[in-house]
Amino acid sequence: MKFSCQGERPCARVLAKAMCGIIGYVGRHRAKDILMDGLKRLEYRGYDSAGIALLEGSELRIVRAVGQLEALIRKAAPLELAGTVGIGHTRWATHGGVVEENAHPHRSSDGKIALVHNGVIENFATIREFLLSRGYCFASETDSEVLANLIAYHYGRGGGSGEKNHFGESVRRALLHVQGTYGIAVLCEDRPGELVGARNSSPLILGIGDGEHFLASDAAGFAARTRDVVFLRDGELVWASGEEFLLTNLCQERVEAQRQELDWDLTAGERGGYPHFMVKEILEQPQALENAMRGRFSADGSTAHFGGLAMTPQELRQVERIVLCACGTAHCACLVGEYLIEGLARIPVEVEYASEFRYRNAPMDRHTLVLVVSQSGETLDTLEAMREARRKGFRVLAITNGVGSSIAREADGGIYQHAGPEIGVASTKAFTSQLCLLALFALYLGRLRDLSFDEGVSIVEVLRAVPGQVREILLQGEAIRRIAERHGRCRDMLFLGRQVLFPIALEGALKLKEVSYVHAEGYAAAEMKHGPIALVTPECPSFFLACDGATLPKTISNMHEIHARGGPIIAVLSQGSAVPREIVDDPIWIPRAHGVALPILAAIPIQLFAYHMGVLRGGDVDKPRNLAKSVTVE
């Protein structure tokens, strides 16, 4: 799909926040199986608890369990649940602790309505007060239960009206009073063949099957059953039975559904024979890099080109400043992008945390281009930063792996990563694919300015060689596992690199923290002597990214400083490196490479190291504690 521009809908109330995975089904098949399968594919969005609600004739049955989906599957296994309409949820806690009462689906106190919700109802306290005064009561601490009751309240006011869409209308009326974000799927005990969903700032996708409809916060939830989809937009509501659906906005106006065909390789989202998604995705990087580059080099092999930028070369030549905006690992990718764009295109670049940028009111002149980077395309901080920039009239481009995601749809233009689904919570292949695309973008901008034809050709050659070089590095997986084994008991680590490898040091520390829970800090190598060196002991290893480059002699001095203090050194080195072997305890070799390729190559060992540390220390590397893949809360 091409990136497209989408204006705000007149009646959409654009608010903030959201999280979790939701799924809904109405059709002829056993909903329980479809919901469980969907939840498995959505579990990356949260795994504090999970639950399903099914309509068994006119009886509403709810099963919920704390912990990963496995717990729910075990609990539901002995139950006879044959209903063909249902909703399901996998939770990342926002309001209320991780206990069964707070797990979704939530049921209204009159028993009529069951709801799953992804988001945050900001005015839930006021609504709760109102409902308490009307005799409703609450079993949980969640904001979502308040919404279930508010829908029940409006449903009750209709006096059980027999009109066809009375249920959908009750949901609409309730939402008119809600401030906050939501992707919801709702069931009503009196309406056994109906399902209602709505969206505001939390994704919701309708799947259209043969005599059946699906709802999910990510099309992966139902893509095994249909590829025919409608991405709901903010302020839209859908009512569905098995046979038909109706899309409206909150102003009760009918909306023309824009149906799209998903073009997905479903097996890409399976773990296959691999022990974890994380290692599968690390090993998929050569392919992901090839996909990122496919069709993106000019015929003369001297530059890159992109189909969806929606900016002419003339417009891009007017750009005098670029702001790169992202969170987490994507932010580390942007820091590399800063070096590459400034180096190749000589355009000043600033890198911002999306969460800070949004509230900072940074002065930006009219020749500033904003580029956001997000694997999921749903990270709320990034989405809101992008909206803020667009509100101020800036052109915003996006690099994302999330086809049809909120960021892809709202950006003025952009570049798809085509890395395939990334399920492991720790980002790996999406990161190197972002590095690759930022290199291509820098090359393109450079060639629009002063970068010569010959320089362009040599950079294209460098980039084309990267997937093969990554394959070579991946062969060292076992050697890196042994290094991890030697350091598996450490409590702290430093990651150190300079220039274009400094962001890789930051990413190395982030990756290690995420999957192994070892405390790690990333620093520009020379900064180490201004404070962090105090941490160095024989129990605190330093992981150097000490590849060939102009600053290598300085980095060698830093390595000596740590070695002299008894700190163990793991180092990523260029083949044939001049780094004295006696100061490196554990070397990892990568091919010599140009600065545009080096960050990608150096990222592979840090990912493998973090992965093996995580496995050795017994953590759940695919679903580390407290994290979720797509962070859709502020």
Element (H, E) at 543: strand 542-546
**Tokens encoding 390:** 């667009």
Strands 182-188 and 113-118: antiparallel
| Nearest approach, Cβ of residue 248 and ligand AGP (Å) | 30
Would you count residue 490 as binding ligand AGP (CB under 6 A)?
no
Binding piece for ligand AGP, criterion CB under 6 A, among 37-45, 284-292, 323-331, 522-530: 323-331
Could you give the CA distance from residue 152 to residue 136 in angstroms, rounded to a whole number? 9
Residues 178-207 that bind ligand AGP (CB under 6 A): none
**Tokens encoding 373:** 């980077």
| Nearest approach, Cβ of residue 266 and ligand AGP (Å) | 21
Binding piece for ligand AGP, criterion CB under 6 A, among 116-124, 279-287, 339-347, 370-378: 370-378
Binding piece for ligand AGP, criterion CB under 6 A, among 128-136, 190-198, 375-383, 539-547: 375-383
Q: Which is nearer to ligand AGP, 22 or 631 (CB)?
A: 631
Could you give the CA distance from residue 21 to residue 103 in angstroms, rounded to a whole number? 12
Q: Which is nearer to ligand AGP, 248 or 405 (CB)?
A: 405
Is residue 40 part of the annotated active site? The answer reads: no
Closest CA to 129 of 105, 153, 103: 153
Would you count residue 327 as binding ligand AGP (CB under 6 A)?
yes
Could you give the CA distance from residue 355 to residue 375 in angstroms, rounded to a whole number? 16
Q: Which is nearer to ligand AGP, 107 or 511 (CB)?
A: 511
DSSP letters, 437-456, are HHHHHHHHHHHTTT--HHHH
Which residue has its beta carbon closest to ligand AGP?
Answer: 328
Q: Nearest 5 degrees, angle CA 574-CA 575-CA 579?
A: 60
* Per-residue binding letters, 379-398, with ligand AGP (x by CB under 6 A): x--x----------------
From 20, 325, 327, 332, active-site residue: 20
Would you count residue 542 as binding ligand AGP (CB under 6 A)?
no
Q: Which is nearer to ligand AGP, 570 or 628 (CB)?
A: 628
Q: Which is nearer to ligand AGP, 559 or 631 (CB)?
A: 631
- 182 in Cβ contact with 198 (< 8 Å): yes
Could you give the CA distance from residue 156 to residue 154 in angstroms, rounded to a whole number? 5
**Tokens encoding 157:** 């006011």
Residues 442-471 that bind ligand AGP (CB under 6 A): none
Would you count residue 328 as binding ligand AGP (CB under 6 A)?
yes
Could you give the CA distance from residue 547 to residue 555 in angstroms, rounded to a whole number? 9
- Can you tell me which of 49, 201, 285, 375 binds ligand AGP, judged by CB under 6 A? 375
From 32, 112, 429, 629, active-site residue: 629
Q: Which is nearer to ligand AGP, 52 or 386 (CB)?
A: 386
Binding piece for ligand AGP, criterion CB under 6 A, among 290-298, 308-316, 339-347, 374-382: 374-382
Could you give the CA distance from residue 110 to residue 228 in angstroms, rounded to a whole number? 36
**Tokens encoding 524:** 């520009």
Neighbours of 208 (CB within 10 A): 18
- Can you tell me which of 103, 146, 175, 330 binds ligand AGP, judged by CB under 6 A? 330
Would you count residue 520 as binding ligand AGP (CB under 6 A)?
no
Is residue 513 part of the annotated active site? The answer reads: no
Would you count residue 374 as binding ligand AGP (CB under 6 A)?
yes
Could you give the CA distance from residue 88 to residue 94 in angstroms, rounded to a whole number? 17
| Nearest approach, Cβ of residue 333 and ligand AGP (Å) | 8
Q: How far is CA 43 from CA 70, 235, 418, in A?
A: 10, 25, 22
What is the per-residue burial (b if ≥16 Cβ within 10 Å, else e) of 606-622?
bbbbbbbbbbeeebebb
* Per-residue binding letters, 405-444, with ligand AGP (x by CB under 6 A): --------------------xxx-----------------
Residues 496-515 that bind ligand AGP (CB under 6 A): 514
Could you give the CA distance from residue 102 to residue 50 in angstroms, rounded to a whole number? 10
Q: Which is nearer to ligand AGP, 91 or 331 (CB)?
A: 331
Closest CA to 465 of 575, 587, 307, 592: 592
| Nearest approach, Cβ of residue 340 and ligand AGP (Å) | 18
Closest CA to 566 of 532, 524, 533: 533
Phi, psi of 282 (to 5 degrees): -60, -45
Residues in the interface with ligand AGP (CB under 6 A) total: 15
- Active site residues per annotation: 20, 629
Residues within the interface to ligand AGP (CB under 6 A): 327-330, 374-376, 379, 382, 425-427, 514, 630-631
